[in-house]
Amino acid sequence: METELKGSFMELRKALFQLNTKDASLLSTAQALLRWHDGHQFCSRSGQPTKKNMAGSKRVCPSNKIIYYPQMAPVVITLVSDGTRCLLARQSSFPKGMYSALAGFCDIGESLEEAVRREVAEEVGLEVERLQYSASQHWPFPNSSLMIACHATVKSGQTEIQVNLRELEAADWFSHDEVATALRRNNPYTQQQNGTFWLPPKLAIAHQLIKEWVEKPNCSTLPA
């Protein structure tokens, strides 16, 4: 196929960052949908094979008529600020040197606000005072998430962090200058050599969130 089409297969995770927004979104939706169908071949109640509808938007169990719809798991991405600095963290699974905003799955029964407060408390031991919604994005890996990005502020004078090392490898406060500089020279290859940190690429919602904060560091300190 590669020879016939004069192309080559590459990992979708890498390809997404080389495509324009429209193509990237189309590909990630298609991949998420195909994977969902693949993983929902059987009814979880009766164990019978399910059938896909013509459009591919759902699957039905012929024996008990249960309808299954593709699902996304909500994930909160939170950029915590103390008014002048922002908090960036890294998980051990991140590429070397990359720091990002805090992220975590919403638990069942939780509101978005509750998930943000719990995640921030769990991961770095801080209490969120105010939070503000920024934007959202579908992310196909590992299993279709709806990434919901928020700015959060902590009470001034309560900024001492306690990094939860079971969830994070490192977390720290970064000054506006440090983050603005990192955004400007956001090329992982040069930065790995210099030993400096780098931020998620443009397509990632965390990048947009960090950029928003750099352009308007006090946007999250407005009354919510």
| Contact positions vs Zn ion (CB under 5 A) | 43, 45-46, 48, 61, 63-64
46/162 with CB nearer Zn ion:
46
45/216 with CB nearer Zn ion:
45
Kindly state the smallest distance separating residue 55's Cβ from Zn ion, in Å.
21
43/106 with CB nearer Zn ion:
43
What residue type is assigned to position 106 of the chain? C
- Are 198 and 115 a contacting pair, CB within 8 Å? no
Cα 163–Cα 170–Cα 118 angle in degrees, nearest 5:
40
Contacts 24+ apart (CB under 8 A), 30-37: 31/140, 32/70, 32/72, 32/138, 32/140, 32/144, 33/70, 35/140, 35/143, 35/144, 36/70, 36/71, 36/144
Kindly state the smallest distance separating residue 64's Cβ from Zn ion, in Å.
4
Find out whether the peptide bond into 70 is cis, omega within 30 degrees of 0.
no
41/46 with CB nearer Zn ion:
46
- Are 150 and 132 a contacting pair, CB within 8 Å? yes
42/141 with CB nearer Zn ion:
42
What residue type is assigned to position 69 of the chain? Y
Kindly state the smallest distance separating residue 51's Cβ from Zn ion, in Å.
11
Kindly state the smallest distance separating residue 72's Cβ from Zn ion, in Å.
23
Kindly state the smallest distance separating residue 47's Cβ from Zn ion, in Å.
7
